[in-house]
Amino acid sequence: MTALIIDILLWGSLAGVSVIAWRQDKTVLTAALRNGGMDFINIVPRIALGVIGSGFIAAIIPSDVIVGGLGPDTGWLGVATAVVAGAATPGGPVVGFSIGAVALKSGGGTPQVVAYVVAWALFAFQRVILWEIPFMPARFVWFRCAVSVPFPFLAAAIVMVIGKP
């Protein structure tokens, strides 16, 4: 049911911005459709590869490995392992979320996987080094990373209190 509501909201948003673009100028709508279509064509194969690849990874990695390092019984050590793994994971959302999905499918604990995803989103090392430091002062980037350290742990703690979704 939640997925249906999200789909309706997304399609409704798309219809709304389409009407706004059309009312501004038909060339705006045409350019938006062309740009959006090209983005769609470029991203769909990557998403498909990530989803299919996560299925292969889930089949290849023994669930004992996932459960041993990120399982629900690993507690805070598993959360710390997940934070380090999330920060060390290179790549974009197709990689990060696919690995998170594999961990869940293989028996990873929800707090550990939440910590992994939050850490990946906040401090993927390659993104910090390749994107953030070249565009912003290094002192600012390291400060941002330092003040962000508690967030994966806080997210895991909240999941532990709330329980499994």
Record the pTM.
0.72
Counted residue by residue, the chain has a size of 165
- The mean pLDDT value for 40-62 works out to 79
Q: How far apart are CA 81 and CA 67, in angstroms?
A: 12
Per-residue pLDDT at 97 = 86
* Residue 49: pLDDT over 90: no
- pLDDT bin (cut points 50, 70, 90) of residue 119 is very high
Q: Give Cβ neighbours of residue 119 (< 8 Å, ≥ 6 apart).
A: 82, 83, 84, 85, 86, 87, 152
| Token pair of 149 as six digits | 């350290």
In which band, very low, low, confident or very high, does the pLDDT at 2 lie, cut at 50, 70 and 90? confident
